[in-house]
Structure 1
Amino acid sequence: MQSSSELFPVALMSAELRGDLSEDVYRLKPGNSPDFSVELALTRLGMAGHEDLRGPPVILLHGSFSNRRFWYSPRCIGLAPYLVRAGFDVWIAEMRGHGLSPRNLAYRHNAVADYARYDLPAISAFVAEMNPQPAHWIGHSLGGLTLAAALGGGYLQQAHVAGVAVFGAEVSRRYWSLKVPPVEWLARLLLKRFAVLSGSRLKRGPEDEPIGIALETLRWHRLFGRFGDAERDWWAGLNEVRVPVLAVAGEGDRECPPPACRALFEQFASKDRQFINLARADGFQQDYDHVQMLVSKPAQDEVWPLVRRWLDGERQMTVATPGEESGAAIPATP
């Protein structure tokens, strides 16, 4: 089969019509990581009959225990179809072993470090080949954290990034028990007995997660741990990131509470940045939780339009200062 890319083997797996939308599913085999069996599914949504019309590209990254269906249902309801109908060129990535992406040989060892170092750059390169405009990236939960790792580690070239929006993403929440070495050692020993964490058994979502993700999280939160890998400190690297940033938290999110999301946001050096807390106190319909912030009828009414306006550039240059109590943006000084 002829490759759809000059960069590396890419197969067009399916091309379907979904109502007023077209759905093209590609499978990328970048061969850029130590595990050469890695293949990544990337879905492009477009307007049926107008597939060649390409607005600004937007790449969506799902969170843990999830897949592309977080962004659009089989009935084509979701943020992804909404953005397509607003004129954007929407691409939906599925991480290794999730959704239509097959499990690689070293699946149990997959980690955010692999996603950030190898997979996101490959996705970025292919999307740029198909649409050379700088891409906006939107990540939810672990997807947002992966974006932060890729930018903080310097794996994604900032010149090719139009902006980054992270929803419910944090790495600053304190788990004090893990600061006690024997507790962390015991947790690591127990986790190593498993190959995966089952999303269905844990009632967290439709997909499994490789145990490598959990072990990596332990390293971040242990005594003297850091958000990074053996080679790079991603947390410190965020101080070099200057692309536009939108960070969104939910007041009702117990998984990634707003103060922790804000700590990640404040680590970016971007001048064009905005932090929003989806809370009744800030004028929203409800105190959104971890999923409702993007998948709910109220989100459809007030969060999706907020995202579209941000992508369209309908915002002021903003800065956030430590100690801000509101989720509202503060106009930047010239």
Structure 2
Amino acid sequence: MLHLRLITPAEKTDEVVRLIETTVGTAHLVVLPAAARNPVGDVVMCDVAREAGDELIGGLRRLGLDETGSIAVEDIDLTLSRRADKAEEEAPGEAADAVLWEGLADATHEESTLSITYVAFITLATMIAACGVVLDNAILIVGAMAVGPEFGPLAGFSTALVQRRPRLALRSLTALLVGFAVAMTATVGFTYFMDGVGLFTKIQLEAGRPNTNFIYRPDAFSFVVAVLAGIAGMLSLTSAKSGALVGVAISVTTIPAAANAAVAFTYTEYRQASGSTIQLLLNLVGIVLAATLTLLAQKYFWKRQRQAA
């Protein structure tokens, strides 16, 4: 279930309470008159089944509560209540299939914002992957995949397409392009440094590299895996099963491809650089396409499920 804490102007409290009481799947309604100080107003709290959460939040926004008061939502890990059990039974659909669109937009907004931390993570991940490709070390490649934060902007871009939010789409695209540009440029400098101290050599890059040569040899499976990862990643976000994102991160070769392209460009190994770039683009396009179609499918089937209930 979800817990909602609302701050509402006194003149709107009755409307808010009425909306909560008429929404199927709500429980544990509490009203604290004049309890809020900033902004001034009443505090209203309630629990709502996840499958009814989007409808209730949408109704609260239509009342203007996000402008005149506050809407705070958090997941409840454990609720021991017969009334809560009844609310979940009454709510149409299944909690695991419900998509909280406002929550998804908020989560992807945070993950797709160009920040120093985001740039630092994607740069460090690319440098780790550079070590992996030169040393032909699969463990370093996996580690770099896990560190890379690029799925956030990809998910944000897909969400923006489905919700038709051009500002979020531009923000996500900017974070993605600038992040990779900075990371690859920094990795070129990192490669020159490592070569200067004798830790990287062109001979290592041009060797057979049985563990990592797939990075600059894209094929049909590259796109297939990216599509599957995009579906799994978006499902993990919409169902709040964030643990699956780790598996998504280490199943696609975006960061390793960017790293291999940067290192290969440094050593004028343009065949590897072009192959790695194609690998990177295949993964990015596959993830965005799959994530967008997944959201559209979830939106369609959830609407059908609600209509049938």
| TM-score > 0.5, shorter chain as reference | no
**TM-score normalized with structure 1 length:** 0.23
Structure ranking higher in helix proportion: 2
Greater Rg over alpha carbons, structure: 2
